[in-house]
Amino acid sequence: MKIIGLTGGIGSGKSTVSSYLEKKGCKILDCDMISRKMTEKGSPALEKIRQQFGSEYFLSDGTLDRKALGDFVFNNRSQLDVLQKIITEKVIEHINNTISYLKDYQFEGIIVIDAPLLFECGMENIADENWLVTASIDTRLERVSKRDGLSKEQILLRINNQMPEEEKEKLSNCVLDNSTDLDELFNQIDMNLERINNEY
């Protein structure tokens, strides 16, 4: 069993890489999906969120009022950090439990932790190696504005809010350059999968 941490800034192509790895038979642990699960009704993070933020952020059926809480924390940086810490803790716990389960069942394949905030959340030590997907800022702006219809200024604001690429590169064992076409990207992935398979 080998564990890869996969990350990349907005519009880098991380989701494209993750889908390709899934097609190649890797088991994907999607942190965005897991974090949504962690805030669904009955999930372990909810009680902590209620204790921290109060019942006013819950609807009458016990589900989280995502809009109200979102409006509150996005206007309050320190509270946003508190919320993210609560959710991140539960996401990491879920990932560690899944990995232990797969180990117990002698899973022999490759697990990919698909995490936009892999380094920011301190998840880099879970994986055997960490992969960063990169592309030039201009390419990322072009792709995201085409995909989401956002202005380049809006995308730049989000990019500038993320950890700088140079820092992420220093923390990565493998950098996938997604500046050109998909064939080129998939070739780099195939080469790295081959390398990992040869290490067994």
Which residues are at the interface with ligand ATP (CB under 6 A)? 8, 10-16, 116, 143-144, 147, 178, 181-182, 185
Strands of 174-177's sheet in order across = 27-30, 110-114, 2-8, 129-134, 174-177
Q: What is residue 4's three-state secondary structure?
A: strand
DSSP 59-99: -TTS-B-HHHHHHHHTT-HHHHHHHHHHHHHHHHHHHHHHH
The residue among 102 and 163 lying less far from ligand ATP, judged by its C-beta, is 163
The residue among 90 and 143 lying less far from ligand ATP, judged by its C-beta, is 143
In angstroms, the CA 81 to CA 72 distance is 12
The least CB distance from residue 42 to ligand ATP, in Å, is 28
Residue nearest to ligand ATP (CB): 15
> In which residue are the tokens 């380094």 written?
119
Q: What is residue 58's three-state secondary structure?
A: strand
